[in-house]
Structure 1
Amino acid sequence: MDRVVPSPVATTSADTPPSDSLLAASRPTTGGGAFQKGVEALAQYVAREGRLPGRGVVEVLPDGVEHRTGIWLGNMKARRDRLDAARLRALAELGVEWAR
């Protein structure tokens, strides 16, 4: 009986797993940090444009991170019944009517 021997294959960068630091940087932040990033992006957009963003708005924060501000705001509206008073107040101060 013949044995199948795997042939050696050159390893490419696609075969190597990404580093832990790269994975951590690409993951969305959770908890209060994610909300703070959203408020920061929303405040920056409102200060510049004078209105709330549409769903497709992507805001670039001062640290260079892109934030999908329009989608984030829609998600906050969908979850408004689970937001605490401080978070609702922060959104209301930026002109979000449904947060009042």
Structure 2
Amino acid sequence: MRSPLRGWRLLLFARCDDASQTESDEWDGPVGRDRWWAARLHRLSCGPCRREAKQMRWLRRLLTSAPDKVRVAEVNETTAPPLSPEAAERIRQSLAAARDSEQA
């Protein structure tokens, strides 16, 4: 069973690492109420953590407002420029030389 004081300890002794981790975890989904409050109260008293939270909110707003073409960069055979035969041969030779030097 969970100790009822666990949440209070989090609120009173939250560190910058905890607040930063909570802020990061909020990107993945909702976090527990006690963690959220601990990070929130920590940010009230910690200037660097307040700035980090503000920057994270700005970054989230920027990423969600970006067009889909910018957000998802897909590279496949149709979008990547093809290699010249000479370049492909140089790569093959370099890989073979590296493989030979590893075996020696």
> What TM-score, normalized to structure 2?
0.31
Higher relative contact order (CA 8 A, sep 6+): 2
